[in-house]
Amino acid sequence: MSDDDRPYISVYVGNISMYDADGEMRGGWLDPPVSDAGLQSFLRDVVGLNDQYGEYSIHDSENNLGIRIGENASLDDLNLLAGVLGKAYESDPLVAEKIRLALDANADPGPLGVANWARQADEIPYHAYDVPAGMECGSPEERYGYSLIEEGAVDPDLKAVLDGPYGGYFDVEAWGRDCANDVYLGENGYYDPQESMPDADLYDRRELAEYAGLDTDEARPFSLESLVGENESIAEYTLADTGTNWGSPRYRCVIADGSTDIAAALEDTLGRIIADRADAGADDADEVIRETMGAERFDDASDIGSGSIIDRGYALPGAITSFNRVASSPSGVDPADPMSIAMTGSPASGLAL
């Protein structure tokens, strides 16, 4: 086996928030697997993710597995896949070729599905070529042909013919090519699609991470308090009842002490939550934003009605009806003395002050 057989994945990750806001493209190449801390460091220091610029996308990729990596692919999943492949390669140097041929013959099950295949590489219906010792074969078709002859899979008498005086006149490569209509040929073996593939959902994320020896800690739980900085406070607000927030729950955001700019506070809090959940390795940003801020994703601005657009495809479903500062950072504001920020204009004016 050569280094070309070692499975690899490389992705170029760019900061789309920075590009959308400033027209600047910042990013870099990542070669997983890396530790969770290494991944977060890459996103922070190379891609430039922070409270202001919190979204990334994959702009380019390379791999020798045949997997298709979209711009919105999860870096956590790709990192886990790379870790599993690296571990599987230690005991099975042909795992990359097995995956390539399996993907040629089957639908791509996604990074975690491919990781499951790699974890069960011995059960992929792949068969190494059986070529006579000392035989030099120039193509996979010739290797496949000799394998069929050695196995007696087509005609058990053919091996005797090749060993006889007329064997040199038989074109093994052409015969192997004709016989390969129903299989997928690799450099070292072939894949038989008539046989069953291993379960692409057998192992969950934690089991795969444990196998790969990667970080297995669960995602850090969300705390809005952890996002409050110096001279900032937490404010609570309610929304006009639109049927989506029954019971008038109180939602929260972070706001600068002394500020009355609710729109800026909501946009800033939204960005901080997105960055925090990415940093925690969690995929629950939508849920956290909904529960904390009352905001939902929207596809069409005409669907918002009396609500208000915040940023990044999120909006409040109804107008803000009250907004009160209730807790603060160590900036000196007494959280026991809430400061109400008076609303001006009609409730339907939403974020207006």
% of the chain surpassing 70 pLDDT: 83
pLDDT in tens, 115-136: 999 999 999 999 999 888 777 7
pLDDT in tens, 161-211: 777 676 667 788 898 899 899 999 999 999 999 999 999 999 999 999 999
SS3 content of the chain, % helix, strand, coil (to 5): 40, 15, 45
Mean pLDDT of all residues in 294-300: 82
- The separation between CA 297 and the C-alpha centre of its own chain, rounded to angstroms, equals 20
Mean pLDDT of all residues in 245-264: 85
pLDDT in tens, 144-164: 988 888 887 777 777 767 776
For the cut 90, the answer to whether the pLDDT of residue 90 exceeds it is yes
Instruction: Please list, residue by residue across 236-273, b when 16 or more beta carbons sit within 10 angstroms of its beta carbon and e when fewer do.
Output: bbbbbeeeebeeeeebbbbbbeebeebbebbbbbbbbb
User: Is the pTM higher than 0.75?
Assistant: no
Domain-wise residue ranges, the chain = 3-93+107-121, 126-191, 224-349
How confident is the model at residue 219, as a pLDDT? Answer: 64
Residues in a beta bridge with 58: 13
Average pLDDT, the chain: 84
How confident is the model at residue 280, as a pLDDT? Answer: 75
Backbone Cα Rg of the chain: 29
Architecture in CATH for domain 3-93+107-121: Roll (3.10)
pLDDT in tens, 135-147: 778 899 999 988 8
pLDDT in tens, 2-57: 556 899 999 999 999 887 888 888 999 999 999 888 898 899 989 998 888 888 99
